[in-house]
Amino acid sequence: MIHRRAFLKSTGAALGATLRAAPARLPNIVFILCDDLGYGDLGCYGSRIRTPNLDRMAAEGVRFTNFCSADPVCSPSRAALLTGRYPTRVGVPRVLFPRDAGGLNRDETTLADVLKAGGYRTMCIGKWHLGHTPPYLPTSRGFDAYFGIPYSNDMSPRPLMRDTQVIEQPARLETLTRRYTEEALGFLQKSAREPFFLYLPHTFPHIPLAASERFRGKSAEGLYGDVVEEIDWSVGQVLRALRENGVDQDTLVMFSSDNGPWYQGSPGRLRGRKGTTYEGGIREPFLARWPGKIPAGPVSDALASMMDVFPTVARLTGASLPAKPLDGVDIWPLLAGEKESIDREILLYFDNWDLQCARWRNWKLHIARHNSAAYSPAPPGGRHNLLLPRAELYNLAEDPDESYDVAAENSAVVAEMERRIRRLISGFPAEVQQAYAEAQSRKADPATPTGAYPRPQP
């Protein structure tokens, strides 16, 4: 356990007044992640699904309206969360399947690695999806213990694992949220005397959906609503356990989702769903609660990324940063209410190795797009990323659903974003640069309508 003096020294004066009344121990970290939960699926984000525990968590902490995952599908988004780096840099540009022997590059450092090295107890409970063979499982990536399905619940086989052992096959889906919660409560009980990191990536509401009998048929929003209401119950149980174990004031709890909704669920008024780089595929609910450190109730519209979690937690815990540069930035000043926004480098959005669009301040620039939706059968000639006939620019502050291309009226913004993209991408792995170069030479038909899936050149 790191001594308090060393902790304060390592985090420095930057924490300022917020840490003057610091606890005599390092903060605990709880990160609860949903799978394929939409931006519009919680009560506090406008849903009719009943989520009283998450709504209360939002009221007791900060709620973000511009928090984005680093990728619109499961594995890459999780890779970015746990490394603070773009998924294309860490060997996870796409979803992993049971046939894949690899996973998150072995030379990457996870958030669990650095917290464990700093004396934390660490546990992952739920869907891992960063490699299911022994060198890639959570217990090889900084977690003391693991309980869950190592990938998505629609994949086969569907093992439930404890650490590296299969304990049930196939996993009984309707029991998972309840059993994950029981595991979490047991871990919190055992860990109350030491700093801990609980990473709780739920299996749901990724399809196939399943809820326990207590929640099945209870929501007015169908089985999807039942599933989300059970997750909300689980969050309430975790928050209650923190109070009962006396660590509520010492624990930063965060809640989000890996990517947008798939066939069910709501992206709110955002355009697109899982698998697309429109906002509906990547904008996520994000709540952060730490009584006494994070003010209760603010709603932040500051731009933030899933990649920011690593540097933010590292700063709060005094953890060592990895040797490789992080793409995320420390957003503690946003969480603590010390700043309203952080000026940051442009954010890039990929589908596999293919750069498609970028976010800078309130602007979204689409430069390339696949000629069909992800998860659709490939069109004749194959699925390709095609350079759009004209880059499309959307002002997300005024046009959150990316409906009105204003590139022609804002040519200076387009030029600045294109300059930043070129500069940033020159430091990416060869596969990204090759895909980028290929897209430059694979232009869409100039007759492609703005916003459409591009047609290939005739």
Catalytic residues: 74, 129
**Alpha helices (H) in 61-103, listed in sequence order:** 74-83
Residue nearer to Mg ion on the CB measure, 259 or 300: 259
Question: In the bound complex, what is the minimum distance in angstroms from residue 203's beta carbon to Mg ion?
Answer: 10
Residue 2 to residue 278: CA distance in whole angstroms: 42
Residue 284 touching Mg ion (CB under 5 A):
no
Tokens of 243: 């109070």
The residues in 105-164 that bind Mg ion, with binding defined as CB under 5 A, are none
Residue nearer to Mg ion on the CB measure, 202 or 364: 202
Residue nearer to Mg ion on the CB measure, 74 or 211: 74
Residue 179 to residue 139: CA distance in whole angstroms: 19
Tell me how many residues contact Mg ion (CB under 5 A).
5
Residue nearer to Mg ion on the CB measure, 187 or 255: 255
* Element spanning 160, H or E: strand 160-162
Q: What SS3 state is found at 315?
A: helix
Q: Is the dihedral of CA 257, 263, 265, 268 positive or negative?
A: positive
The residue nearest Mg ion at its CB is 74
Per CB under 5 A, the list member of 19, 31, 32, 36 interacting with Mg ion is: 36
Residue 235 to residue 402: CA distance in whole angstroms: 32
How far, CA to CA in Å, does 266 sit from each of 37, 45, 216, 221? 8, 10, 19, 11
Binding mask 413-452 for Mg ion (x = CB under 5 A): ----------------------------------------
Question: In the bound complex, what is the minimum distance in angstroms from residue 408's beta carbon to Mg ion?
Answer: 35
Question: In the bound complex, what is the minimum distance in angstroms from residue 36's beta carbon to Mg ion?
Answer: 4
Pick the stretch among 35-43, 161-169, 222-230, 397-405 that binds Mg ion (CB under 5 A).
35-43
Beta strands in 307-445 (DSSP E): 347-351, 354-360, 363-370, 385-395
Question: In the bound complex, what is the minimum distance in angstroms from residue 291's beta carbon to Mg ion?
Answer: 30
Residue 35 touching Mg ion (CB under 5 A):
yes
CB 209 within 8 A of CB 227: yes
Pick the stretch among 209-217, 251-259, 310-318, 399-407 that binds Mg ion (CB under 5 A).
251-259
Residue nearer to Mg ion on the CB measure, 35 or 144: 35
Q: Is the dihedral of CA 92, 203, 196, 328 positive or negative?
A: positive
CA-based nearest residue to 81, from 144, 141, 160, 40: 141
Residue 315 to residue 450: CA distance in whole angstroms: 43
Tokens of 441: 């030479």
Question: In the bound complex, what is the minimum distance in angstroms from residue 234's beta carbon to Mg ion?
Answer: 17
Pick the stretch among 30-38, 60-68, 188-196, 439-447 that binds Mg ion (CB under 5 A).
30-38
Per CB under 5 A, the list member of 53, 88, 259, 448 interacting with Mg ion is: 259
Residue nearer to Mg ion on the CB measure, 35 or 405: 35
Pick the stretch among 128-136, 190-198, 258-266, 447-455 that binds Mg ion (CB under 5 A).
258-266
Residue 393, strand partner residues: 365
Residue 258 touching Mg ion (CB under 5 A):
yes
Residue 264 touching Mg ion (CB under 5 A):
no
Pick the stretch among 58-66, 67-75, 115-123, 317-325 that binds Mg ion (CB under 5 A).
67-75
Residue 84 to residue 90: CA distance in whole angstroms: 10
Residue 74 touching Mg ion (CB under 5 A):
yes
Decide: residue 115, CB within 10 A, 0-12 exposed, 13-18 middle, 19+ buried: buried
Interface positions with Mg ion (CB under 5 A): 35-36, 74, 258-259
